[in-house]
Amino acid sequence: MARMPTSFLIALLVLITALPISAAGPIAVSAKPLGKLLIDSELRAPATVISANRAVVTSQVAAIIDAVLKDVGDEVKKGDLLIRLDNDNARYTLAQARAALAAIEAQIVDAKSRVSKAEELLDKNFISDEELITRQANLAVLEANRQGQLVAISAAETELSRTRIIAPFDAAIVDRQAQVGSYAQPGTPLITLVQTDRREVDVELDPRYAAELPRVNKFRFVSQEREWPVSLLRLSSVIDTSSRVIRGRFEFTGEAAPIGASGQLVWQESSGLVPVDLIVQRGDQLGVFVAASDTAQFVAIPSAQQGRPATVDLSADALIIFRGHTQLQHGDAIQVTRE
C-alpha cells in the first residue's frame, strides 16, 4: 500500500485544527424555591421531671396514732388508707349528736300534736289565740334545734372520718413522720407523698425563646439517650431576677419519664438558614447558585462561614440550585428541573 505524502498529512492536520469546536450543551441541574430549602435550628433548654404535687399530710384532729399502714417506698392509690387514728372520742361525739337529734324529733312530734289540738280548740273557743301562738312558737324552736343538731351530726361525722388518713392521689411515700402510739394534734405532720400520676417537666428558658414557644407544635424531653413527647402546659411571664430565665411547665403526652429525671427540652425553630451542602466556594467567596432563566448566577453570602449554615438575602421564591451546583461557574448555561 502506497504511503501518503508527508505534505498531504500536514495539510490535513492544519484543516482539522482550523475547524470550530462545537460548544458544550447546558448543564442539567435541579432547583427549588429558597423557602422550601431553609432548615430549622434545634434549640435546647435544661429540664427536670417533677411531681405535680408534693404533699405533707397532717392530722386534722387530736388523737393517738393507732396504726401506720403504709411506709416509705410504698406506692399507693388515691383513697388508700395510710394511717388510722384512735376514733373513740369521735364515735362518742357522733353518738351523742344522733341521740340528741332523736330527742328533738320526739319533741317535735309532740309539739305538732299540741299545735293541731290547739287549732281545733280555738275553733270551738276553748283556748285563746295566745295559747295557739305559744305552741306554734315552741314547735318552730324545736325545728330550728333539729337543723342545728343535723349540722352537729355532720360535723361529728367529719371528725370521725378524719381519724382515717387516706391518700389524696396516686403517690409514692417519701417520708413518714407518724409513730404508732404518738399523740397527734391538728397540724402534726404524719406522712409525705409525691404524686405519681401527674408529672410535669420544669424547664429553664432563655427569655428570647419565650414568645415563640406557643407557636411550636412539637417538643420532646431528652434524658439519657431516651426521649418523650411533651406539650406546653404553662409559661411564666416573669423573668427570674437571679438566674435571668423564664420557667415553663410541660406535660407528657404519652409515657412519662421518671420523677427526678434531668435532661433537656428540645424543639425546632424556623431559622431561615441555608443548609451547608448548598453553600459552595468560588474564588474567595462562599455563596449559592441561583437559577436565573437558563443561566446559573453565583450569589455571595458575606456572612457565611465554612461548614456552617448561613442566612442569605434572597426572596423565598428565588430558585436555588441544590443538585448539580458543585460543578457550576457563574454564568454557565443550565437546563433546570424544578422540584
Over the stretch 42-101, which tens digit does the pLDDT of each residue have? 889 999 999 989 999 999 999 999 999 999 999 999 999 999 999 999 999 999 999 999
Question: How far is residue 241's CA from residue 273's CA, in Å, rounded to a whole number?
Answer: 33
- Burial class from Cβ neighbours inside 10 Å (0-12, 13-18, 19+) for residue 44 reads exposed
Question: How far is residue 313's CA from residue 247's CA, in Å, rounded to a whole number?
Answer: 35
**pLDDT for the residue numbered 16:** 44
**Interacting residues of 281 by C-beta distance below 8 A, sequence separation 6+:** 306
> Same domain, yes or no, for 117 and 248?
no
Domain presence at residue 320? yes
Over the stretch 149-178, which tens digit does the pLDDT of each residue have? 999 999 999 999 999 999 999 999 999 999
Structural domain that includes position 74: 56-79+169-197
> Same domain, yes or no, for 98 and 158?
yes
**pLDDT for the residue numbered 24:** 61
The percentage of the chain sitting over the pLDDT mark of 90, rounded to a whole number, equals 70
Q: Which amino acid is at 295?
A: T
The CATH number that applies at residue 236 is: 2.40.30.170
**pLDDT for the residue numbered 268:** 86
Looking at 139, 162, 185, the residue that finishes a domain is 162
Question: How far is residue 119's CA from residue 122's CA, in Å, rounded to a whole number?
Answer: 5
Max CA separation in the chain (angstroms): 171
DSSP secondary structure string, 197-208?
S-EEEEEEE-HH
**pLDDT for the residue numbered 13:** 45
**pLDDT for the residue numbered 125:** 77
Nine-digit cell at 206? 432563655
> Same domain, yes or no, for 139 and 240?
no
Q: How many domains does the chain have?
A: 4
- Bridge partners, 264 (sequence order): 46, 222
Looking at 253, 272, 291, the residue that finishes a domain is 272
Question: How far is residue 112's CA from residue 133's CA, in Å, rounded to a whole number?
Answer: 12
Nearest residue to 157 via CA among 204, 211, 93, 209: 93
DSSP H or E run through 196: none
**pLDDT for the residue numbered 19:** 44
Domain presence at residue 17? no
Across 27-41, 65-79, 209-223, 232-246, the highest mean pLDDT is recorded for 65-79
| Cβ-based neighbour number of residue 205 at 10 Å | 20
Q: pTM value?
A: 0.61
Over the stretch 100-155, which tens digit does the pLDDT of each residue have? 999 999 999 999 998 888 887 877 777 788 888 898 999 999 999 999 999 999 99
The sign of the dihedral angle between the CA atoms of 64, 70, 76, 77 is negative
* DSSP-based three-state secondary structure for 90: helix
Beta strand pairing call for 219-223 and 189-195: unpaired
Domain presence at residue 7? no
The CATH number that applies at residue 310 is: 2.40.420.20
Over the stretch 215-235, which tens digit does the pLDDT of each residue have? 888 999 999 999 999 999 999
